[in-house]
Amino acid sequence: MTDRYQTFTRTPLGKALVKNLGLPNPTPLPRWTDGSAVIEGPVVFGASAETDTGKAIQALLRDVGASFSTAAEGVASSELRPKALVFDATGISSTAELTSLQRFFSPVIRQLGTAGRVIVVGRTPELAASPEQQIAQRAIEGFTRSLGKEVKRGATVNLVYVAPDAHDQLDSTLRFFLSPKSAYVSGQVVRVGTGPLVGNDPTAPLAGKVALVTGAARGIGAAIAETLARDGAKVIGVDVPQNANDLRHVMSAIGGSELLLDVTAIDAPQRIAAQAQEQGGLDIVVHNAGITRDKRLANMRTDVWDAVLDVNLRAPERITEHLVSSGALNDGGSIIGVSSIAGIAGNNGQTNYATSKAGVIGLVQTLAPRLGERQIRINAVAPGFIETEMTARIPFAIREVGRRLNSLQQGGLPIDVAETIAWFADPASAGVTGNVVRVCGQSLLGA
């Protein structure tokens, strides 16, 4: 659905009203298209100290063909508008050294270009070398989350914590955060750990992989299926029999296969496993199917409560358990849950939905350490306001507020959720597990 207000702000009258009345002024966000470079425009790199992580970041910037300079080369006074500012903060070992963030960013932040990227790479606090370092590294979250609220013109700010000796795992994550694929992801904190080095082709990272996407007939699920297929995966799309035509339409366009079933059916895990085994097992599982049945708790019937919990939480739990224990999910695989900011912040009239979506986060946090032994990763996305049929049905005034209540002052698109999932699914993200990333334009709701 189109954002008419945003279109209006691009007209001469709209521009004048925005300026004079101080109205929200959302910048159109560029998305990734075939053939796009990872980053178009100059990058400025800075560091608190010289580290192996800094060397890995600079090697990646060279690899993606970015023209970059270091803060030491005097870029602060450059006339160029940097497209990205990347800072290696892993060398910060005490709170006194946090000043290196201010010294690097203050002179250059105003120059950041339209839809610019700020990425700070820190050391995972709980794996820090000393209590002093742990405190200082934890402090960086406050810096990046605040800076995300200060930057303008569609820019994003994210923090990547890297474990000791995991700098060789940063590539896929930095590519994602530098590129237009992360257009609607801001104010997030992700953790990258150690893992096997996977040298795949970044233009077809999922070649040879088999992916299952539930709720693939429309909306976000259709975008996920299309994006995973774009990246080389063979997709099995699942949806309810009532949506057979829509599912066929989506799957035939991407050369995928269909599996018509209700994910809450008693035999759903077995039927999915059987279809997966025919294709050599699954490498990627995306639990996207979801429903809302909003009612205040005082008016909530048991069947309405159960329906939401069954589709959104019990089905992903049961299907995951069976795919893992039966071996239908291959070692090295990737499971992705679809949560919601309602599961983080809570929402009036959504006790059932928010319980189910917080449970998806519980699934990630509980299973990530357990599945690590088989190199299976599990992460979740938590979308905010995404422009779909579901959000188009929200009454105008509530919709308008929901859409603007984030740092980017606009709703996201299904592709924004799909790109985040594709980054999680990438085998090169071997060190990325146990994360919940909000795709919400840094919504003001929740943490």
Q: Which residues bind ligand NAD (CB under 6 A)?
A: 214-215, 217-221, 238-240, 243, 262-264, 288-291, 311, 338, 340, 383, 385-386, 388-391
Q: Which residues contact 366 (CB under 8 A, 6 or more apart)?
A: none
User: Does 353 participate in catalysis according to the annotation?
Assistant: yes
Of 88 and 416, the one with the shorter C-beta distance to ligand NAD is 416
Of 243 and 365, the one with the shorter C-beta distance to ligand NAD is 243
Of 3 and 262, the one with the shorter C-beta distance to ligand NAD is 262
Q: Based on the number of CB atoms within 10 Å of its own CB, is 170 exposed (0-12), middle (13-18) or buried (19 or more)?
A: buried
Closest CA to 61 of 163, 169, 175, 142: 175
Nearest approach, Cβ of residue 68 and ligand NAD (Å): 35
Nearest approach, Cβ of residue 364 and ligand NAD (Å): 14
Match 């870029």 to its residue by tokens.
Answer: 75
- From the list 5, 161, 184, 353, the catalytic residue is 353
Nearest approach, Cβ of residue 424 and ligand NAD (Å): 15
Of 181 and 218, the one with the shorter C-beta distance to ligand NAD is 218
* Residues 357, 341: Cα–Cα separation, whole Å: 8
E strands, 372-432, are 377-383
Going by DSSP bridges, is the β-strand pair 282-287/329-338 parallel, antiparallel, or unpaired? Answer: parallel
Say whether 410 sits in a helix, a strand or coil. Answer: coil
Of 20 and 393, the one with the shorter C-beta distance to ligand NAD is 393
Nearest approach, Cβ of residue 95 and ligand NAD (Å): 37
Match 């018509």 to its residue by tokens.
Answer: 260
* Residues 22, 86: Cα–Cα separation, whole Å: 31
What is the edge-to-edge ordering of all strands in the sheet holding 84-88?
68-70, 43-47, 84-88, 117-123, 156-162, 189-192
CB 215 within 8 A of CB 238: yes
- The DSSP letter of residue 71 is G
Nearest approach, Cβ of residue 353 and ligand NAD (Å): 7
CB 158 within 8 A of CB 119: yes
Catalytic residues: 353
